[in-house]
Amino acid sequence: MSNRPPYLYRGRGRGQSSSKKTGYSVGGLVIDRKAENQKATLNKKPAAHAVPKSKEMNKQQAQLEAHWAACDDVTEGDASPDDCDQLNFHDELILENVMKSYKEGNSIVDLAQMQETLSECLQMSSLTCIICLEMIGRPDPIWSCDRCYCIFHLQCIQLWARDGIAQQQLKLSPELFRDLEINWCCPKCRKEYLKSATPQKYYCFCKKQIDPVVDSWVLPHSCGDVCGRRLLPECGHECLLLCHPGACPPCPVTVMVTCFCGKSPPVSRRCGSRGWACQRVCRKLLACGDHTCELTCHAGKCPTCSLEVEQDCLCGKQSQPRSCSDPTWSCDQVCGKALPCGNHTCCQLCHIGSCGDCPRKGLRHCPCGKTEHVLPCTEEVPVCGDTCSKMLTCGVHQCSRSCHHGDCGQCLQLSVRRCHCGRKERELRCGLEVLCEVKCTNQRSCGRHQCRRKCCDGNCPSCENTCGRPLKCGRHKCAAICHSGSCYPCTMTEEVACACGSTILTVPCGRKQYTPPPQCRSMCRKPPTCHHKERKPHRCHPGPCPHCRQLCNKRLSCNHNCSSACHSEPQMPPMRRPVGLAPWEKFNPADQPAIVKPCPPCKHLVSRQCKGGHETSEMPCFEAHSYDCGQRCGRQLACGNHTCQRGCHVIVNSPDSCLAGDDCLECELPCMKPRPSDCAHLCPLPCHKSDCPPCDVLVKEKCYCATMHLYIKCNEWTSANDDQRQALLSCTGQCTKQLLCGHRCPQPCHSGACPAADKCQRKVTTRCACRRIKKEFRCPEVTDVACDAQCIRIQKEQELVSLVCVLAYNLG
C-alpha cells in the first residue's frame, strides 16, 4: 500500500485526475507536461475586448513558468499536479486585470472589501441565490439589487416579483386602486421597486451590456469594460474598476482639500476620504450669536450652545439659569396684570406682549346665545328664560332645560341602538355604545387566522401572530408578522472554513452542506495525529496528513522510552473483503476500524494494591493490574449499623478509606428504629441512618356528625394536638343535628353539644288571627301578632255582610 496521503491523489473538488492524463488545466489554459516547446494553448478563443496585448502576454507567460516551477517543486515533494492551486493562480490574473487602474506606483488603494467580493464571485460555490438556495453558475442569467448588491437568478427574482405583486393585488380593490403602481421588495434588504422595474433582461454588473458573454479570463457576469458608474458620495468622478459586482470602492482621485474648520491650508488627500480634522479648536460662531464652538475641528454643523445664563420668563416674573440656545421659556403661572377696564386681571398663562382688552367688554350673549346684552364688565349676563336648545354630547338631541349657566350634562333619553357588528340591539341611554360578545369569524389579511375580536365592525385589524412557517433553509422559521404569500429568505449566514480555519467563506443559511471548503494557500496547521509535536511542513489541504516516520521515543508509564517506529497514529487496515459477504453486497473500506499499534509491553516489576486496598504485591509492569485478595470488603455501609460483606472489589466514589463506595452492597435488613406514640405501623424503608420518614398510612375515622368516614394520615394524627385532632375529625359539612326549636344546627360538623335554641338565626313568619298582617322574627324572638283596627273593621264588615245574606235568605 502506498504511503502517499489521500489528498495528494485528488484535486480540490474538481474531479478525479487520471494517471494516464499528460496535462491539466489552469483557468482557460491547457498545460501539457510532456511538451517542452509548447507550454500553453488556449482552449477557447477569448472575446474581442479580452484579447491581451503582447506585453501582457509576456508577463502572463512568465507567471505561468513560475507556476510550473512551483508545481515541479510540489511534485518532487511527493505531491500531484492537481494539488497545485490552479484556480487561485487564474484568479490572481483576473483580479490583477480588474484592479490595475487603481494601482499607483507601488501602493494600491484600500480595496480589501472589494477583493473579498471579487474572490467570492470567482468561486462559483460561494455564490448562492437566497431564493432557491441553489448555486449560481457562470452561464446563469442573474440580477443584483441596487442597494444590497445581493445576486439572484433572473428567473427567481422575476417569480418573486410576480408573487409579491399578485399578493398585494388580492388585498386591494381593483375599482378603487385601478391606477395604483404596486411595488415589490428585494428579498434581502426589502428595497421597494416599481412594477415597471421588474427585471426582464440579463445585464452585466455595470448595466452596459445585455447577455454578457461567458469568458474564462473575465469575471463571471461581467462585460470586461470599465465600470464607469458615478461614485458615492457624489464627487463627480467615475469608478475605474472593470465591470464588477458589489458597491464601487472609494474614489482614488487625489484632491486638495482643507480641514473641516477651514483653518489649516489645503492638503493632498484621496477624494473618497477627503474629510479630515486639524485637531484645533473650531471657534465658529454658534447660533446664539454670543458664544463660539469649543470642540475640536469636526465635520458637520456645530452643536447648539450648551452654556447656561440667567434668563427671564415671558411675563418677567421669574428668572432661572437656562441653556443659551433656548432663551424663550414660560413659567406656567397666571399673568395677573391689570386689564384696561381696571376691574379684572389677565387670566392667561405666562405670555409675551400685551394682555389685550377685557373679555367681558362689549356685546355679550346669554348662556344659550339667543339674547344679546350690552352691560358693564362688572355685571353678569342674566339668563333669558328660553329653552337652552344646545346640542348635547350625543350629537342627536338638544338640551331641553331653560337657559342656564354651566354644562348641559349628558343626554338622558333612551333609544334602541345596534352593536358594531349589527347582530344585537339594545335599548339604553343615548350616547352609550352597544357591544356584544359574538366573535368575528372573518379571515385577517394573512388569510390564515380568524379575527376573533368581539363585536367587530368588519374592519378587522392586521394579524399580529408570528408567521412561523419553515424557511427554505430548513433550519429556521419565519419570524415576521403573519403574512400572505412567500416568506422572505432566511437572513442568517453560515461560515465554511478550510481545514486550518484561516480562510473562511460566508454562505447563506442552508448551503453549508453543499459548499466545498474554500481554497487556502497557507501552510497546514493541523496538529499531528501522533504524539509528536511537529510534522513535515506542507500546505493546507482537505483530508488526513501523511503518516509520521519518526521514532516513537514515547515515555511509557514505567518511565522507559519506546524505541520502535512511530505507531501512535491510527492506520487503516488492509483492504480485504470480509469473509461471508455476498458478491452483490457493497464493501466500503472506510467502514473498517482504524488500527493503532500499542508500544511493546514493559516487563519491569511494579507494586500494585488489591482492589480493596488491603495488601500490596509485586508483578511485571505489562501485567500490572488490581487483583482480588480474597478478603471481605469490611467498609461501613450507609446505614451506619453494618459493614459490606462483599469480597475484595474496587471501591468507587468513597469519601474516605473507611466508608463504603457506590459499588458496595446495600444493607437489606428492615428498619428497627422505634416508632412514634400511637403509631402501630412499621417503617417502609430498609435499614437506614437518617430519621424514619413520616407515616403515610391512612387511618379510618368517623366525623362528629357520623355522616361520613374520614381517612387521615397517621403522621398527621399522631403529631396533632387536641385542637388539631378536632379539626381533622370534622367533615366541614353542616351539622345534621336539630336544635330544641326544631331547626337544623347552623354550625359545621363539630364536637360536643349544639348551641342553645336562643342562638338560632333562622327567620320565622307569623300572622295575626285574621292572617292579614304578616311579620318575620328571629327564631328566639317569635311573638304573637295582634290584629289592628283595620282588621277589626274588616271582620265587622264581613259579619254584617253575612247577617244581611242570612236575612235575605230567610225573607226570600
Mean pLDDT within 489-513: 85
Write down the pLDDT at residue 66.
52
Write down the pLDDT at residue 154.
93
Lowest mean pLDDT among 71-85, 285-299, 723-737: 71-85
Q: What percent of the chain has pLDDT over 70?
A: 84
Write down the pLDDT at residue 442.
87
End-to-end CA distance of the chain: 150
Q: Would you say 141 and 132 are in contact if contact means Cβ atoms under 8 Å apart?
A: no
Mean pLDDT within 460-487: 85
Grid cell digits, residue 185: 421588495
Q: What percent of the chain has pLDDT over 90?
A: 6
Mean pLDDT within 131-152: 89
Query: Is residue 42 predicted with pLDDT exceeding 50?
Result: no
Lowest mean pLDDT among 100-109, 134-143, 378-387, 393-402: 100-109
Query: Mind spelling out the 3-state secondary structure of 178-197?
Result: CCCCCEEECCCCCCEEEHHH
Write down the pLDDT at residue 52.
38
Write down the pLDDT at residue 88.
55
Query: Is residue 53 predicted with pLDDT exceeding 60?
Result: no
Pick from 220, 314, 302, 212: nearest CA to 261: 302
Indicate the pLDDT class of residue 201, thresholds 50, 70 and 90: very high
Full DSSP string of 363-376: EEE-TTSS-EEE--
CA distance 439 to 221: 56
CA distance 142 to 129: 9
My answer on whether omega of the bond before 233 falls inside 30° of 0, hence cis, is: yes
At 397 the three-state DSSP class reads coil
Query: Is residue 132 predicted with pLDDT exceeding 50?
Result: yes
Write down the pLDDT at residue 202.
93
Write down the pLDDT at residue 798.
85
Overall residue count recorded for the chain in this entry: 812
Write down the pLDDT at residue 296.
92
Rounded mean pLDDT of the chain? 78
Pick from 212, 248, 220, 204: nearest CA to 91: 220
CA distance 294 to 54: 61
Mean pLDDT within 98-109: 54
Write down the pLDDT at residue 691.
82
Write down the pLDDT at residue 144.
93
Pick from 347, 357, 342: nearest CA to 315: 347
Grid cell digits, residue 262: 477651514
Mean pLDDT within 32-44: 33
Say which residue, 122 or 412, is predicted with more confidence. Answer: 412
Pick from 458, 452, 417: nearest CA to 438: 452
Indicate the pLDDT class of residue 173, thresholds 50, 70 and 90: low
Query: Is residue 28 predicted with pLDDT exceeding 60?
Result: no
Query: Of the segments 30-44, 409-423, 559-573, which one has the largest average pLDDT value?
Result: 409-423
CA distance 568 to 23: 39
Query: Is residue 299 predicted with pLDDT exceeding 80?
Result: yes
97: left (phi over 0), alpha (psi -120 to 50) or beta: alpha
pLDDT in tens, 674-693: 888 778 888 888 887 788 88
CA distance 297 to 468: 51
pLDDT in tens, 605-622: 778 888 888 888 888 777
- C-alpha 710, offset from chain centre: 54
Q: Would you say 631 and 612 are in contact if contact means Cβ atoms under 8 Å apart?
A: yes
CA distance 706 to 726: 14
Write down the pLDDT at residue 78.
36
Q: Which amino acid is at 514?
A: Y
pLDDT in tens, 309-347: 888 888 878 888 888 888 788 888 888 888 888 888 888
| H-helix or E-strand spanning residue 607 | strand 605-609
Maximum Cα interatomic distance, the chain, rounded to a whole number of Å:
167
Query: Of the segments 295-299, 332-336, 662-666, which one has the largest average pLDDT value?
Result: 295-299
pLDDT in tens, 203-237: 999 999 999 988 888 888 999 898 988 888 888 88
Write down the pLDDT at residue 297.
92
Query: Is residue 80 predicted with pLDDT exceeding 70?
Result: no
pLDDT in tens, 753-789: 888 777 787 787 888 878 888 888 788 777 777 888 8
Bridge partners of residue 428, in order along the sequence: 415
**Cell 339674547 sits on residue:** 371
Mean pLDDT within 233-256: 86
Mean pLDDT within 354-362: 82
Grid cell digits, residue 164: 409579491
Query: Is residue 72 predicted with pLDDT exceeding 50?
Result: no
